[in-house]
Amino acid sequence: MAENPNEYALQVIGLNKFYDRTQALKDVTLAFFGGAKIGVIGANGSGKSTLLRILAGADEEFEGRRIQLGGLSLGYVSQEPELNPEQTVKEALDESVDHVHKILDRYNEVCGLMGEVDGEELEKLSTEFEHLQTEIDTHNMWEVDRLLEVAAGALDLPPMDRKCSVLSGGEARRVALCKTLIESPDILLLDEPTNHLDANTTAWLEHHLANYAGLVIVITHDRYFLDNVVDWMLEVEKGVCTPYKGHYSDYLAAKEKELDLSERQQEKRRKRLKSELEWVRTNPSARGQKNKARLARYEQLVEEQQNLRPEKIDLVIPSGPRLGNKVVVFDKINKAYGDQVLLKDLSFEIQPGAIVGVIGPNGAGKTTLMKMVAGLEEADSGTIDIGSTVEVCFVDQRRAELSDENTVFEEITEGVEFLPFGGGEIQSRAYVSRFNFKGADQEKLVGNLSGGQRNRVQLAKMLRVGGNLIILDEPTNDLDLPTTRVLEEAIEHYAGCMFIVSHDRYFLDRICTHILAFEGEANVEFFYGNYTDYTQWLEERRAAGEVAYESKAAKYRKLTI
């Protein structure tokens, strides 16, 4: 990946990694130069996180060589970072800038001493002063406290006095990410940094990393992030690493050419990649037209659903009975927990065929609203009118309904041989295979699965039941790109309505006809169009002075550290 060997900041040569008898990485040789931005992609279990741990020096049990250029600092944020449970958030962050404060203190000390000495001692102090001045200016150290405040605000960190021991997984990851960014290492390794970040926060991180001076290697399934940040793609597939020069859309184009040369059995995958590439290249206004056209085609979709057969697409979501004219109507809904107001006089109406993307920061009330739609939570006041033909299917992000003692096959199918599928039936093992659980993977215990694999099990289990109103809460978290593409295609062919809580901007743009946006402080907007349409509309309204409010993350979005 480097053009000049002298610029290599990090290398692995002849890398092989085994877990028992399974080979996770196969004869991998890679070199990365300073300043490069590398996006690592691949299916769950392909070896991405293993590779990153080895590059970070966190895993030394491998064959081959790892070489890091001397004098370069390295920062690594894993999917489950470890923080000192005895520290508060502030104490954890202060650790990351402690070395800066020591340099600043020494600088001030030297300044004072220079006025008290002369001769040879003054000359020594003058040399040290110049060195300290250069280091402070190079790393913008006088701004460190302000930059830490900016980063903490942009990443929406929990209260500074909160103990790290009580942080959720998402909060701990954001604190660890903030710590590492402030340290500004020469080599920055990030494993799924955008999970648990809202869209505004992800946009801020995007902007920061695109302008980052050091080497950045990031595992992510966020396709807009990949297009906006990286200049190389690294695909990890069955332990083999293949580099592609360019952004995500360049990678798609290269893969399409490769698949054109492969055997006919790859035709489905080639068409999906080609379709996605064409969509990427369309302008935002043209993308919005697709959503409007989908609503107009609702009746046609219903008819297609009745005749759909398994071989047409990789996944079919059963849509349940035909919807009537009334689906969901919210009328002046209010909801609060104590002093925290989540919804204030919220009114909107969902029409048949609508795919509604629900966006906003964590804790704003998105999941509470979804529970209201599903009848699991009551409003404080106002009315929620659900149509008489509506059958709700709620796929909860907590995945609480999974039994760790079951195999993947047992959990998804409950042991039956055939499942309803489109207008007919499908053999149960074939259905499970469509969620990328094939062969021996179907006999793995659910309790031994990764987060992404558990997500796939939950989706497969809930979506086989179907319904004409499906609620998906963060369906793409921990989901690999191949499975996400299959899910997108299934939603495009689905004839019912959906509410989808997601921070994945690309996913929202691909499938949504409406946006329900939680902007903070009980401000909720219901908008006709996809995510990009909505953000453009909101910016225009803010510029015109029609909208005054702005989420906390959005305020920091354009600031850098």
Q: Domains in the chain, please, with CATH?
A: 86-184 (3.40.50.300), 312-556 (3.40.50.300)
pLDDT of residue 3: 44
pLDDT of residue 415: 85
User: Which residue, 499, 518, 509, is CA-closest to 291?
Assistant: 509
What length does the chain have? 561
How many Å apart are CA 134 and CA 126, to the nearest integer? 12
How many Å apart are CA 269 and CA 442, to the nearest integer? 22
Total Cβ atoms within 10 A of residue 300: 12
Residue 439 phi/psi, 5-degree rounding, is 60, -130
pLDDT of residue 464: 78
How many Å apart are CA 179 and CA 194, to the nearest integer? 15
How many Å apart are CA 477 and CA 170, to the nearest integer? 11
Q: What angle do CA 488, 491, 497 make, to 5 degrees?
A: 145
pLDDT of residue 302: 66
pLDDT of residue 452: 72
Sign of CA dihedral 420, 425, 429, 434: negative
Q: Report, as ranges of residue numbers, the positions in the chain whose pLDDT lies below 70.
A: 1-6, 261-270, 273, 280, 283-290, 298-299, 301-315, 396-400, 421-423, 547-561
Tokens of 119: 């001769």
pLDDT of residue 348: 96
pLDDT of residue 528: 93
Total Cβ atoms within 10 A of residue 162: 15
Classified as helix, coil or strand, 320 is: coil
pLDDT of residue 421: 67
Q: Are 432 and 409 in contact (CB under 8 A)?
A: yes
Sign of CA dihedral 539, 541, 542, 544: positive
pLDDT of residue 238: 86
115 contacts: CB under 8 Å, gap ≥ 6: none
Tokens of 176: 């660890």
pLDDT of residue 362: 78
403 contacts: CB under 8 Å, gap ≥ 6: 411, 446
Calculate helix-pair angle for 144-154, 89-114, nearest 10 degrees: 160
353 contacts: CB under 8 Å, gap ≥ 6: 294, 295, 297, 298, 301, 495, 496, 497, 513
